[in-house]
Amino acid sequence: MKIGFIGLGAMGRGMASQLLEAGHEVTVWNRSTEAVEALTRKGAKAAKTPADAARHEVLISMLADDQAAHQVLIESKAVEAMKKGSVHINMATVSVAFARGMTALHDRLGVAYIAAPVLGRPDVAAAGKLNIIAAGDPAQLERVRSVLDAMGQAVWPLGESPERANVVKIAANFMLATAIESMAEASTLTRAYGIEASDFLDVVTNTLFASPAYQGYGKMIAEARFEPAGFTMRLGHKDVGLALRAGDERHVALPLGSAVRDRLLDALAHGDGEKDWSGLAEVAARQAHLDTR
């Protein structure tokens, strides 16, 4: 297929590379040119503007947040440049309200819209092993299935309303945030008693919590390896905020979310916004004053 790809950040670069390897014709656009140049060396074409990238059979966007998506996709007129009957796959984690607005806009323009946020970090994206949560018109989803399959190991369809995929992604990231916070707090407790985080986390991530999320983030906490970030504190703060906003809309209390948001805000206040969100362990240790004991 002829695909336009907008947004070549830590995730988008690997995803676009997988599309090229699968034999798709990919035209890319990104605010910074370095990532574009790297993809063109692999066979991609460079678009001069977001609108140029949008004039293809399929448009994929992978942007940081609502604001970036609004600027790049709407203010630039990229979505309006799409041909009637084409498909836009938005793979970013955006708010429920933004998802609704995008659905309505695409309906007015006669363009199909699929929400397909992903589960996985940059290394998983580069390996084509993402889990893709997808919602939208089933016929259109089937139409682009080969595109999604090129980027992921599994596609999880969740119905016709695109916002459903975004809700699931937001809820999943909320669970990750609380899992990281629980390990941060628990390992800080053991450290206060002279038990290294690595020893504690080795026990729990190989017994009670023997799952990829706990093991992966537990290892990062044990090694105090928070840079380079796979998913930053800043993005974590954004996504927990999305969960709280979604909860407000349907009167669902998320008390753990409020606590984790405050921890992430503490990290941002200390200039740690670009560290991996497993660095919540540093916040817990700092608030416990471990370094002065």
Q: Which residues are catalytic?
A: 169
Query: Secondary structure of 29-66 in the HEC alphabet?
Result: ECCCHHHHHHHHCCCCEECCCHHHHHCCCEEEECCCCH
The DSSP bridge partners found for residue 133 are 156
The DSSP bridge partners found for residue 87 are 58, 112
* Buried-state track 138-167, b at ≥16 Cβ within 10 A, e below 16: eebbebbeebbebbbeebebbeebbbbbbb
- 85: nearest Cα among 115, 55, 48: 55
163-192 vs 255-269: helix axis angle to the nearest 10?
70
Sequence length of the chain is: 293
Query: Nearest 5°: CA angle at 128, between 106 and 88?
Result: 5
Is residue 249 within 8 Å of residue 235, measured between CB atoms?
A: no
- 213: nearest Cα among 190, 239, 238, 181: 181
Query: Nearest 5°: CA angle at 53, between 145 and 144?
Result: 5
Bond into 50 cis (ω within 30): no
Q: 87-90 and 112-115 as β-strands: parallel, antiparallel, unpaired?
A: parallel
Distance CA 192, CA 259 (A): 21
